[in-house]
Amino acid sequence: QVQLVESGGGLVQAGGSLRLSCAASGRTFSTYAIGWFRQPPGKEREFVAAITWSADNIYYTYYTNSVKGRFTISRDNAKNTVYLRMNSLKPEDTAVYYCAAGRLSRDSNYQSADAYDYWGQGTQVTVSS
User: 68-84: per-residue pLDDT in tens?
Assistant: 999 999 999 999 999 99
Distance of CA 30 to the CA centre of its chain: 15
Q: Is 120 helix (H, G, I), strand (E, B) or coil?
A: coil
Query: Is the pLDDT reported for residue 27 higher than 80?
Result: no
Cα separation, 30 vs 43, in Å, equals: 31
List the beta bridge partners of residue 101: 34, 118
Radius of gyration (Cα) for the chain, nearest Å?
Answer: 14
d(CA 99, CA 45): 12
From the list 81, 41, 40, the residue with the least C-alpha distance to 64 is 40
pLDDT at 28: 86
**What is the Cα–Cα distance from 17 to 5, expressed in whole angstroms?**
20
